[in-house]
Structure 1
Amino acid sequence: MSSIEITVIDREGNRAEGVPWEDDESLMECLVANSYPILATCGGNASCSTCHSFLDRATFEKAGEIQEDEEDVLDTIEDEREPTSRLTCQVEWDEDLAGAEVTIGPM
């Protein structure tokens, strides 16, 4: 099993570097495994927005295309959405995402 390290900024602005992300996890699963308060109400099926977070620009560009289901959910939270918003359940592990900075979105 491989892993990479990312930086996570929680809702209170606390920054944690070196957070491990295992290759069999989505970004949402990584956040949950590392005890971040992600509800994941839909179980990672891109049908709620409880795992909404913001990626740094470089990570956003490397994280793959936003699919239609994710786009539809992000459109429902337009007031909270930023240009680098993603549903973390839809961001798959990739070695190229090492060093990513993830800011957990508002509840």
Structure 2
Amino acid sequence: MKIVYALTDGTEQTVDAEPRTTVMQAAIEANVPGIVAECGGNAMCATCHVFVEPGAAERFGEVSADEDEMLDCTAAERTELSRLSCQLVPPDDGTVTRVTVPDRQR
């Protein structure tokens, strides 16, 4: 599956990820800049914050209570498109997942 990360410098980085890999895991493995992931994917630090595309909620499911709480702690301003990339497992249906990395994580 393909994940496209829109970076703050205006470039994009496309990563080929294995099925059932989170958006955060794929970013760390591919050295995508801007994804810090201090807690290693446990939804406890908000340093893997990304913005999903409008309408992507149904692809990833609803925000859990733990994720919602951590999204209140993001360094970049939270929006209705904010998600923790450690909680996002893209569907393996051939669609491309696109996320935007915020300008800061801490």
Question: Would you call these one fold, judging by a TM-score over 0.5?
Answer: yes
1:32 aligned residue: 28
The alignment status of 1:16 with 2:22, answered yes or no, reads no
Q: Which residue does 2:78 correspond to in 1?
A: 81
4+ aligned runs moved over 6 Å, structure 1: none
* Identical residues among aligned pairs (%): 34
1:36-55 equivalences under 5 Å are 36-37=32-33, 38-55=35-52
| Gap regions ≥5 residues in structure 2 | none
Cα pair distance change 1:29/1:78, threshold 3 Å: closer
Backbone CA RMSD of aligned residues:
1.9
Paired residue type of 1:30: A
Deviation for aligned residue 1:78: 8.1
Structure 1 unaligned runs (5+)? Answer: none
Letter in 1 for 2:10: G
What is the TM-score with the length of structure 2 in the denominator? Answer: 0.84
**Cα deviations across residues 35-61 of structure 1 (Å, max 9, x unaligned)?**
113211111111111100001113233
Q: CA offset at residue 68 of structure 1?
A: 0.5
